[in-house]
Amino acid sequence: MDKDYYKILGVDRKASLSEIKKAYRKLARKFHPDLNPGDRSAETKFKEIQEAYSVLSNPKKKSQFDQFGFAGDAPPGGTYQQAYSSGFEGFDFSSFGTSPFRDFFENLFGTSARQTYQRPERGEDLHYTMKVGFLDAIHGLKTRIKLTRMVACSTCGGKGYIQKGGAQACPQCRGSGHTYIQRGSMRFSTTCPACGGTGRTRGQECPTCYGQGLVQKTELISVRIPGGVNTGSKVRIPGKGNAGRTGGPNGDLYITVEVDAHSLFKREGSNIYIKVPITVPEATLGTKIEIPTLYGKTTIRIPPGTKSGQKFRLRDKGAPILGSRKKGDQFVEVSIVPPPFNDERIREMMRELEKISQQHPREKFEVH
């Protein structure tokens, strides 16, 4: 066998096509003559690498080589060098996509197939802070806000340019959307810089948006704030962000909520807290009192002997829980209010009560 193509590429005889390609790309990058100017050994090695790859990447030639030790019309001891050029003619580097190998040559020769192509781009998201009343945050509300955002230019339809007399084929790429760049013996396929890959002439710059495709617009936006939001909650309004470019979708609007405080209610998560004053007779004898809730008034029972600071729980009277049909609870904390001290009759009754009750609430307040 005159040449061992597997040994030239440094792969095993059972190597897959993807492994052969990987080895070829690595060696081609290392020994290419343009990257090794004046190095004849590198040029010779490069030709051998190309020769080996052209055989091993072709199933028919590979089978012939595995069986007979040569491929094509060349006998053992012959040469294949005349069949291959010393460059990458016909080798399309666009097949590398965004691989490091492609980026290596783009950085080396200053070209990029992505630099001018105008792909559809999603519009930017917008953020808005809204103050909401306490009860509006509980029950939800529909309102309108004034918002300034970027929208598609109505003059050019968001394209950024105006076509007069219809679209015409790009004269630089002749309508293909691609041009080729020659760097030494390497040939690159890249997006046409004149038309951005569309294959059509862009036309005249739009006089309204100055080629941007977008214009600023202030408008009233209808928004719905769901019940149960709290300070810091974010509400997403789909499609109400900035318009996309070159046909891309709009961004979204995100509203950050700030909830005002309430004079009676205090909120912690989905639970609501309220302090309710009661009199000494109500706390002593027990009673029924009417209290406010988020959903109207309700009546609770105060049992005899209720202490100041004692809490009562009202189930499902709290704030709605976002994303579910459940609600939190309302907690009622009672605070005993002493009677007026400047009424002599009440003072006398309190003295009599003190004698009768014989209470010693601080009896165990001793430090040991």
Q: How far apart are CA 251 and CA 60, in angstroms?
A: 53
**Could you give the percent of the chain with pLDDT greater than 90?**
46
Indicate whether 73 pLDDT > 50.
Answer: no
- For residue range 204-223, what is the model confidence (pLDDT) as tens digits? 788 898 888 899 999 999 99
Average pLDDT for 128-144: 96
Q: Out of 6-20, 81-95, 186-200, 240-254, which region has the weakest mean confidence (pLDDT)?
A: 81-95
Both structure tokens of 251: 């961004």
Q: What percent of the chain has pLDDT over 70?
A: 82
In which band, very low, low, confident or very high, does the pLDDT at 120 lie, cut at 50, 70 and 90? Answer: confident
50 or 71: which carries more pLDDT confidence?
A: 50
Check pLDDT > 70 for residue 368. no
CB 64 within 8 A of CB 71: yes
* CA-to-CA separations, 139 to 17, 132, 224, 322, 331, in angstroms, rounded: 65, 11, 11, 11, 19
Most confident of 4-18, 161-175, 348-362: 4-18
pLDDT score recorded for residue 261:
96
- With a cut of 70, say whether residue 186 has pLDDT above it: no
Q: Quick one: the chain helix, strand, coil %, rounded to 5?
A: 25, 30, 45
Residue 276 tokens read as 């309710």
276 vs 108 pLDDT, higher one: 276
Q: Which class for 156: exposed (0-12), middle (13-18), buried (19 or more C-beta within 10 A)?
A: buried
Residue 94 has pLDDT above 50, yes or no: no
Query: 70: pLDDT confidence band, cut at 50, 70 and 90?
Result: low
Binned at pLDDT 50, 70 and 90, residue 331 comes out as: very high
Whole-number pLDDT of residue 183: 63
Segment among 23-27, 262-266, 274-278 with least mean pLDDT: 23-27
- Among 112, 114, 116, smallest CA distance to 202 is for 116
CB distance 151 to 217 below 8 Å: yes
Q: Residue 286 above 50 pLDDT?
A: yes
The pTM is what? 0.58
Is pLDDT at 88 greater than 60 in this prediction? no
Task: Report the mean per-residue pLDDT for the chain.
Answer: 82
**Is the pLDDT assigned to residue 166 strictly greater than 60?**
no
Mean pLDDT within 279-286? 94
pLDDT for position 110: 44
Q: Give me the pLDDT at residue 296, please.
A: 95
| Residue-level pLDDT at 185 | 62
Confidence band for 293, pLDDT divided at 50, 70 and 90: very high
**Cβ–Cβ under 8 Å, residues 93 and 186:** yes
* pLDDT of res. 193: 74
Neighbours of 72 (CB within 10 A): 15
Q: Are 160 and 211 in contact (CB under 8 A)?
A: yes
pLDDT bin (cut points 50, 70, 90) of residue 77 is very low
Amino acid 133: pLDDT: 97
pLDDT of residue 62: 86
Q: Residue 245 has what pLDDT?
A: 87
Higher pLDDT pick, 255 / 111: 255
C-alpha to C-alpha distances, 248 to 120, 213, 239, 336, nearest whole angstrom = 4, 12, 11, 64
